[in-house]
Structure formats: C-alpha cells, structure tokens
Structure 1
C-alpha cells in the first residue's frame, strides 16, 4: 500500500494511519496543504477498522429522518450521566468540541461514502444517537483511504517512527522512520492510537495484573505517547483500561465482516436494512453478534460462574476487570461460563439476552447453539459437561458443589461476590466458552489544548506538535459506546485543519532527535 511518491517533505506530517490520522490528513489536504502519512503497519485502518463501528452523535440527518429532536445540550447532559463518578475529571472544553462536531462529522463521513444504520438507543442516553456503520467497520478505512488518494495524500506504510525531529528554535519539524527523515513544514500530528498493547505502560499506570491481558489491537503500543512526552508533553488520566472477556474467534465465516465496503453497496444496504422489520434485522445480525460480544454480566447475577481452563472458579464475577485479569493470569487465558437450566431458560427470551447490540439485536442461548456451536455446550450432568468442554471433571464438579454451598450460605468467602443468584443446580447444564481476556481500549492520552496542540505540564503548546484520537484524548472520559470513534474523527479533522493553517517554518534543519524509546 506504500505510495510510490519519493517526497519526504510536506506541509503536514501525520504519524499514524488509523481513523484519526486519515481524517487529519484529509482535513489538512482539503485546507490546501500537502500531506504525508507514516503508518507503521502494512495497512492503514488501525483500531477504527477493528471496532464494532458505532459513532454516537447528535443533530444528524439520520436523527431527523427518524423524527428524533435532539440538541447539543442534551448530548452533553447525557455524557455527564454516563460519566458518573468520573465526571469530576472530565475535560469539559474538549467534550463540548466533541458534542458540537460529532454530528457534522457523521454528515462528512456520509459525503465520502460511509453509510450508517440508526440512530439506535444507547442507555443511559435520553435520545437515540448511536449510528452503526454499514456493512462493518472496514467501511471507515476504505472510505478514508479512498478520500486520501483523491486528495493527493502520500501514505507510507510499514514505517515505524523512531523519533521526532527539532530545529534550532525548538520546533517539532518532522520525524525519522526506517532510518529516513520526513518533514512537516507547518507541523506534525501524532495519531498512533492508545497504549493497550504496551505491557510496560499498562504495568506502570494500571498494574501488573492488567499488563498480562493482551490487546484487541496488538499494534497499539503507545508510540505517540512516548514521542509526545519526549517532546515535552504530558500523559494524563492513564489509569483506565477496558478489560473484559470475549469469545474465541469463530472458525465460521462471518458474512457481515466479509461484505465489501463499496459506497454503492453500503448505500444499498442502508436502504434495505432501514426497511426491514426489526425482527428480521435482529435475526440477520445475531450471527455477527455472537462472534463479537461476550455474555452480559446479568447471567452471573442469575447464578452462573466463571471457571478457568482447569475447571476451577477463578474470580469475582461481579467485576469484568476481575474476571479478565484472573483469566489472563490462569496460564492459557481461557475461561468458561457455567450455568444451569434455570439460567438458560431465563436467558432464552426478552428481556434477558445473553449479549446485546443496543437497539439493534439481542442474542439468546439458542442463538449460540445455532451460530456458535463451537462455544456452546449442553449436557445432562456436570461430568458430561466437563467432557464436552475439555475441563477436568473432578475440578469442575468440585467448583460447582462449592459454589452451590456458598449460595446456600449466602456468602462467597473466596472472592466476596455480592450477587450470588440461585446456584448451578438444575440440569441439564451449560457452558459458554472458551472465552479470552482482552483489553479493548486504553483511556488517557497526551494533554492537548482546544486546538489539539500538545501541551506541557504548564499548559504551554509545544511548537509544531499536535495530537488526535486516543493519542490526544486530553482528559476526555468517553464512557459510552460510539464516543471513541467519534473523537477519533472529530479531533483528526480539527487537528488537520489547524496544522494546515499554521505558518510554514523556513528552518527545517535538524538539531535534535527525540527518540520513542
């Protein structure tokens, strides 16, 4: 995918070719600037192309067509509610920027060929604001790449940036990648994603237990964070990871993931799905839902337990974080949910889904039997269930018996679980798994101002350096679905426009390099 262009100097240099980086590149190019993008992976797309693809926004044409009367103020108020205890540390200025620009950014994405299904509800939001990309998140990457090419953006892939470059005035003027120097006359934008795959950073900011959990995107190694701090920036609010369990990847072809992302196909799909009855649409999506999403915690509250690869119960099932960390520490990063007929019956119909795609589709126990027979197990006895899953029969039997005794006593002496449910007592018995622990996202980021310039601990802008997406999250909380992709695109567009309008530096002579480490 690397461009054949040989130029190493442009008005704007973007480091990272995910959703935020390509949005920044397009924004800069349409503002009259020449642009070079350096992407360390063989292909562009980043975490944006690996996501579910939800984009939460207010005041969109999709809302208007659906008769939803929304406002920026309502959007901000709902984000306050979603933040809960974290509202006290919210970057309110950046939140306002996100709220005001998310809707126009959905419309901009539509102008370059991205289509959405929506808006759909997303509690605790009052208004339906979640726009789900069609046919899958690869549509973002395809549309952004197509627009980059249209606008003359030069993209170099397989280019890991080793250090930022400074001139004699202390301005950031470029970067060194694969031994070669690249320059941005007006500025450099860091858009390298989060740090979810950096064992070192996870251990330092969250803890050793979290550091053992692999990332959904193994390329998110925090390069931009390290480059930015070497340049004088500061990382803030680095203490929160999205830790949880997911089913092992399906060996069956996911038809939704396989659909091409051509604009005409996406538009045709939107027209079709908007006219499908809800029940039929939900049925179509369930196959993908059972591949993408782990079971809801409400199943544990009803009595299910989590066991490790040997069959022993390993964690307090009240906590996603505790289950993920225990699974990752259990040797094989493998766990199973165990439950009985009473729980299976409860989670076989509304309002108790096993997994959820809010407002669109819900998957129940029988859906896993139909779509994911590789993770669905049912047996008349616990010993037979152990044989089906490969778990140790004696250990699994002991775990279930010990759990039932705790439920009867009303106390979990091992992990202090508070919601015990009714135990695992009524056959037939079920297991869902294997499941693996993953970190989906890492919050935190470089401190930035409202122009997306990277700032020092004293709040001063570092000359020549901007950041976007997770790299430039700047204290935003983003505690509901669809906000991270929204911020990636919104911040990228703003950063690209601002760098394109910055004065051109005449001095591109390198006097210092700032290594990523």
Structure 2
C-alpha cells in the first residue's frame, strides 16, 4: 500500500462512505478492515437511513426538511446535541443518500410501510430488501468497483502514526496524508460500557463484534473532546435465544403495527409506542429481563418488509398461534391474565399512556420472546462540520477525522434520545464530509 493519500480505519457504513467520497475527490485510499467476514453494526441492522428533503420524499408527496429533522432530534434529545454536529447531519443526510444513489449506484427507496416513533415525517430510506446486510453488500460492491480504493482485509489497526500521518498495524505502518477513524463505538468493550453506560452494561450486545472503542481511545489520547459518552441505542425487539447460531432481531416497527408486550404474568407493563431505544430498559426490568411480543396477521404481513424481521421468520423465531389458549401454552403464560390483557387492546386512554395502537389484534396471533439489547453506543469524539476531530478547546487535531461510532452521534444522553435511522444518517453524512475534507 504505497502512495496513500487517505487511510480509513474500519470498513463499516462510515468507513465505506468515507472511502467512496475521498476516491471520488481524486484521493488514493487505503480502506483497512480487520475481518470482513465478521458481523458488523451495519450488517445486523435494518439498513434504514434517516434523511430529510430528498427526491424520494418529493416523489411520494412527503413534505419534510432538514429543519424539521433537526426539530425532531431536539424534541427527543433536548439541547444535549452539539449544534454544529446536528446541523451537519440533518443538513448533510440528504446529500449523503443522493451520493449513495448517484455515485455509489445504490437502488434506494423511501420506507412507507409504517411510521416510526420520533419522526414527524416518513424519512427513512433503504435498499430494496430493507436489510443492513444487503446495504453492506451493495456498498462493498461499490467500493470494489472504485479503482482509487485499496480494500484490505485482515488488517488490524493498532494506533496512529506521529502527526496522524497514517496508522500503525500489526503488519507495519501505513503512511498517509490523513487518517479517518471509522472503527465503530464501544458496545463490545465491557470496561468502557461499565464506565460510561452502566445501565446498558448487562444488556446483550447485538452490534458489530469488533466495536471495542479503540478509535475513541486513540483520539482521546491526543486530547480529543468526548461528548455524550452515556448515549446508546437500545434494541428491545431481540430474541433472548440463538437460532442456528443467530440471535434474531424483529425490528422496531411492530408497536406501530399494533403489537403489545406482556411479561411472564401475562400483563402489559409499558407504553409500547414509546421510542424503541428507551423501551429497552423497561423490558430489561421485567422478570428474567424478557417479555413476549404479540401481534396480528396484518402486522405480520407489513413487518415482512424489513430484512431483519424476515430473517427472524426464516429462522423459526416467530410463532403462529391459532387462538389465545395456544398462545398462552406456547409461551407458558397464565391464560386468564393474558385474555384479560389482550381484551383491552385498542382502548384509550391507555393506563400506560400509549397514544397509538396502529392495528387490531385478533387470531391468529403471532408472537416471539424478546429481550432488551444494546445495538451500538452513540457517544464519541467531538467533530466539526468537516468531520475533523476536535480537542477539548475546540481546535482540530491535524490530519485526523472521524465518523460513525467513533464520532459523537445525535442522540444526546442515555437511551431516550435515539431515533431509528439516525445512526446511519450520522455515519453517511459525516462519512461524506470526512472523505471530501480528507481528500482535500
């Protein structure tokens, strides 16, 4: 790997976007990944990208704007999000999805099957199968087709060269003019979770297996400012069991389609239509940290639009029960309590404060056992509008950029500020800026 202009550490969503943007700007790029075969935060996701004011929205008459997107973020996370970062992501996400379509050649569409908590407009964009695995495969194909990118597998980055003029690896140094850190967050780093996100430390981690916080640590050692380190995306629709070695994810659209959650006593315990991230803690607080999610046939059909849900069905993680006695028996729930609970479906006002039911609930019933999980962390290093890593005093660290899980997200503090699709919005918006700026 000689004569490299930009070295990108990590080939996830942010890393691939960075590499594509830098190569399009004329840079020679080394994209380094320790294990392309391992599950990534992108590959196990639903592949939904939040972006406002796009041509896909205009095509279906969906009125939206970056300003409305930013207002929705502030409504969820308050004033905790850095205003520069918020503006960069909400204004840059539309350009990012246009780049993915027009430059990377990805077939994108607007998700219109269901409305998601926290979004005042339909602004989630996806590839045809609405699957993170598909999105990753398409991005890898786009990277492979770009002559200016040298993708190297099996390369573990171990640190930064002096002056950030490249990276060190187990195989030796890789010099470059600029470095972009896209190695992911710290969801797989138990010590960092215990320090920064103690309430999520016991949750099952379902993100990328190599999210060890290394990139954040390298930047912090150079004096980088860290923001919202207690922030994370909770995922409440995850199987507590592995099926053929896979832990299925059912997707966050089920409550908007009428699904309910019941605990081991057959009772509801929460307003299921709250944001999925903050719902995670309520689920983990139940006996055994598990619940049974129940939905109807119409919801089943609609949810099949999502790639992770289809995979869960293929694995056999979703049960179909002909009636209430069969449902109670299948999951070992008290039949009388379950019948009483489901009889209240759709009633308003709801004792738990649910505002939207979304659909009816009638036999046959579909159901799955679920637990709360940690999808990925949202805290990280402070960056500017060009994705340059900033010190505590706001000055940029020379030649160092960050995007994705290494950089701070737009979710504020804790779990409650995360809104579906905002993680990939940040990864792609910052990745586009980082690639362009590093190349320049």
User: Which category of TM-score, normalised to the shorter sequence, fits these structures?
Assistant: 0.7 to 0.9
Aligned residue in 2 for 1:414: none
Q: Distance in 2 between matches of 1:451 and 1:21?
A: 15
Matching residue within 22, 32, 42 for 1:38? 32
User: Aligned pair 1:10/2:1, yes or no?
Assistant: no
Matching residue within 227, 250, 273 for 2:218? 227
- Listed as ranges, the gaps of 5+ residues in structure 1 are 1-6, 254-287, 408-416, 421-426, 502-517
TM alignment of 1:226-375, pairs within 5 A: 226-243=217-234, 244-247=236-239, 291-293=250-252, 295-296=254-255, 305-307=262-264, 317-318=270-271, 320-326=279-285, 330=288, 335-337=290-292, 347=296, 353=299, 374-375=317-318
TM alignment of 1:106-505, pairs within 5 A: 106-111=97-102, 112-118=104-110, 120=112, 122=115, 125-135=119-129, 136-149=131-144, 150-166=146-162, 171-184=163-176, 186-207=177-198, 210-243=201-234, 244-247=236-239, 291-293=250-252, 295-296=254-255, 305-307=262-264, 317-318=270-271, 320-326=279-285, 330=288, 335-337=290-292, 347=296, 353=299, 374-376=317-319, 378=321, 388-389=330-331, 391=332, 397=334, 418=352, 432-473=367-408, 477=412, 479-501=418-440
Report the TM-score, using the length of structure 1 for normalisation: 0.66
User: Aligned pair 1:96/2:87, yes or no?
Assistant: yes
Q: Distance in 2 between matches of 1:300 and 1:306?
A: 14
Q: 1:159 to 1:361 in 2, by over 3 A?
A: closer
Q: CA deviation at 1:43?
A: 3.9
Structure 1 residues 158-197: Cα deviation after superposition (integer angstroms, max 9, x where no partner): 222222221xxxx11222222411111x211101122222
Q: CA deviation at 1:447?
A: 0.7
Q: Distance in 2 between matches of 1:212 and 1:53?
A: 22
RMSD over aligned Cα atoms: 4.2
- Name the stretch that deviates more: 16-25 or 147-156: 147-156
Q: CA deviation at 1:9?
A: 5.0
Report the number of matched residues. 405
Q: CA deviation at 1:134?
A: 1.6
Aligned residue in 2 for 1:276: none
Report if the CA contact (8 A) 2:53-2:66 is conserved: no
SS at match of 2:397: strand
Structure 1 residues 102-121: Cα deviation after superposition (integer angstroms, max 9, x where no partner): 22222221122211222637
SS at match of 1:320: helix
Report if the CA contact (8 A) 2:224-2:397 is conserved: yes
Q: 1:379 to 1:63 in 2, by over 3 A?
A: closer
Q: CA deviation at 1:46?
A: 3.5
Structure 1 residues 252-278: Cα deviation after superposition (integer angstroms, max 9, x where no partner): 99xxxxxxxxxxxxxxxxxxxxxxxxx
Q: 1:64 to 1:314 in 2, by over 3 A?
A: closer
Q: CA deviation at 1:58?
A: 2.8
Report if the CA contact (8 A) 2:14-2:430 is conserved: yes
SS at match of 1:29: helix
- Listed as ranges, the gaps of 5+ residues in structure 2 are 272-277, 344-350, 355-361
Structure 1 residues 454-489: Cα deviation after superposition (integer angstroms, max 9, x where no partner): 111111211121101221236565743222212212
Q: Distance in 1 between matches of 2:70 and 2:49?
A: 14
Report if the CA contact (8 A) 2:203-2:374 is conserved: no
Structure 1 residues 62-118: Cα deviation after superposition (integer angstroms, max 9, x where no partner): 233324454xxx332343234325221122222222233222222221122211222
User: Aligned pair 1:60/2:60, yes or no?
Assistant: no
Q: CA deviation at 1:61?
A: 2.7
Aligned residue in 1 for 2:45: 51
Report if the CA contact (8 A) 2:244-2:315 is conserved: no
- Name the stretch that deviates more: 118-127 or 488-497: 118-127
- Name the stretch that deviates more: 135-144 or 106-115: 135-144
Q: Distance in 2 between matches of 1:372 and 1:147?
A: 29
Aligned residue in 2 for 1:282: none
Q: Distance in 2 between matches of 1:90 and 1:338?
A: 32
SS at match of 2:30: strand
Report if the CA contact (8 A) 2:297-2:364 is conserved: no
- The higher radius of gyration belongs to 1
Q: 1:116 to 1:429 in 2, by over 3 A?
A: closer
Q: 1:90 to 1:12 in 2, by over 3 A?
A: same
